[in-house]
């Protein structure tokens, strides 16, 4: 497994954990958290399919694939940071005996971890994009 593939597979597993722990969404902050988790999960699946099927090499579209993936991953990172903060605020406002409090907090913690992994992937893509640019 290449170092570029490791963040993608990790974000998929963490995304599944985030989605399963935060659902069903009873509160507005959890709705946004689930939205971010699902959209990021689908985006990561699409990028994995692009690499797995060799679409980058097979098409002649004038797309800077590396920059597109870099921007997508950076947006996912920022959205996950906002979402896990919101998720933890919502889950901390629940009273201690609430039956959804533990899984909501766990979803926020896994959101933190997923944001860190997306941030690391953004850093790796930035280094790769910076190395391939021509001045």
Cβ pair 11, 43 in contact under 8 A:
no
- In a domain, residue 135? The reply is no
pLDDT at res. 98: 67
Please check the confidence at residue 5 and state whether its pLDDT lies above 70: no
For 11-60, how does the pLDDT look when each residue is reduced to its tens digit (9 = 90+)?
A: 889 989 889 988 888 878 889 999 999 999 999 999 888 888 888 888 88
Note whether residue 91 is domain-resident.
Answer: yes
Model confidence, pTM = 0.86
Q: What is the pLDDT of residue 10?
A: 85
- 59 lies in some domain: yes
In a domain, 76, yes or no: yes
Query: Is residue 22 domain-resident?
Result: yes
Catalogue the long-range contacts made by 48-55 (C-beta closer than 8 Å, 24 or more residues apart).
48/8, 48/12, 51/5
Residue-level pLDDT at 4: 52
Look at the chain and report how many structural domains it folds into: 1
Q: What is the DSSP letter of 93?
A: T
Answer whether residue 14 is part of any domain.
Answer: yes
**Lowest mean per-residue pLDDT among 6-15, 79-88, 94-103:** 94-103
Residue 94 structural domain? 5-130
Show the tokens assigned to 37.
């988790």
Mean pLDDT to the nearest integer, 61-88: 92
Task: Show Cβ contacts of residue 59 under 8 Å, excluding neighbours closer than 6 positions.
Answer: none
d(CA 10, CA 111): 12
């Amino acid at each position: 497994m290449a170092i570029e593939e490791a963040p993608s597979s990790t974000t998929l597993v963490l995304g599944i954990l985030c989605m399963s722990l935060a659902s069903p969404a009873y509160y507005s902050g959890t709705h946004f958290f689930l939205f971010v988790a699902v959209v990021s999960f689908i985006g990561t699946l699409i990028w994995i399919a692009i690499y797995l099927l060799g679409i980058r090499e097979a098409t002649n579209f004038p797309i800077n694939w590396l920059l597109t993936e870099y921007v997508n991953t950076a947006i996912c990172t920022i959205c996950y940071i906002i979402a896990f903060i919101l998720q933890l605020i919502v889950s901390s406002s629940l009273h201690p005996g609430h039956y959804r409090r533990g899984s909501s907090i766990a979803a926020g913690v896994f959101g933190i971890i997923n944001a860190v992994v997306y941030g690391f992937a953004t850093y790796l893509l930035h280094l790769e994009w910076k190395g391939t640019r021509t001045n």
